[in-house]
Amino acid sequence: MSAPALEITLLHPAIANYVHDHTSPEGELFARLRDETQRDLAIPQMQVGRVEGALLRMLVSITGARRVLEIGTYSGYSGLAMASALPPGGELITCDIDPVATAVARRYFDQSGFGDRITIRLAPALETIAELSAQKQRFDLVFIDADKENYSRYWDAVLPLVPIGGLIIGDNTLWSGKVIEPKTASDHAIVAFNKKVVADPRVEQVLLSVRDGVMLARKIRD
């Protein structure tokens, strides 16, 4: 087996291939979604890789999460991976502003057999989070994978919605290595987000070198 096209990773290609080959394979529906995304959508490298998708699915399964909030749907690979591990009656709400990519996501959600667990909220995520907060909704796991400049604002908005023991996962937190010498606004935003998580006494965290970096934080106090 070979690594999928457009896989973002800081690992040596041979190691990345080895990791890929020793991770549970994706299903046929996921493979079709990956192919369509790479063929038809703009910026296909935004799609979560197969290894990270497997990690997200396993985290939902291990934690027994019943309610998941995703910030950044794109074409739906990560949402599909997480929803596939939800128990009956579980729910995933996913937020995005791109009607083209989310239309692709909706088609694949509906083909999955558990599309009824997934709700797409097509609006700025901070507005959606504010509505969910006003409704006193709670989420066992939150996955942040949207515009980098707002990562810190997303963190502040979602952490109160997560119970003690719940997870917040931030994607792209190594940002192709640009966190070492940040230059652009996005670079600095990721650096600021990582610092914010480390300084927050409400969580314990580990920064994983999966794909383009995954910040995994567990809430330990309010």
Tens-digit pLDDT string for the chain (222 aa): 334 444 566 788 899 899 999 999 999 999 999 999 999 999 999 999 899 999 999 999 999 999 999 999 999 999 999 999 999 999 999 999 999 999 999 999 999 999 999 999 999 999 999 999 999 999 999 999 999 999 999 999 999 999 999 999 999 999 999 999 999 999 999 999 999 999 999 999 999 999 899 999 999 999
Domain membership of residue 5 (yes or no) is: no
**Residue type, position 22, single letter:** H
Domain membership of residue 196 (yes or no) is: yes
pTM to 2 decimal places: 0.94
Q: Are 30 and 47 in contact (CB under 8 A)?
A: no
Domain membership of residue 214 (yes or no) is: yes
Q: What are phi and psi of 82, to 5 degrees?
A: -70, -45
Number of domains in the chain: 1
Per DSSP, the residues of 83-103 read HTTPPTT-EEEEEES-HHHHH
Cβ-count burial 40-71 (b if 16+ within 10 Å, e if not): ebeebebbbbbbbbbbbbebbeebebbbbbbb
Kindly report the CATH number assigned to the domain that includes residue 210.
3.40.50.150
Q: Which domain covers residue 24, as residue numbers?
A: 13-219
Domain membership of residue 152 (yes or no) is: yes
Domain membership of residue 2 (yes or no) is: no
Domain membership of residue 8 (yes or no) is: no
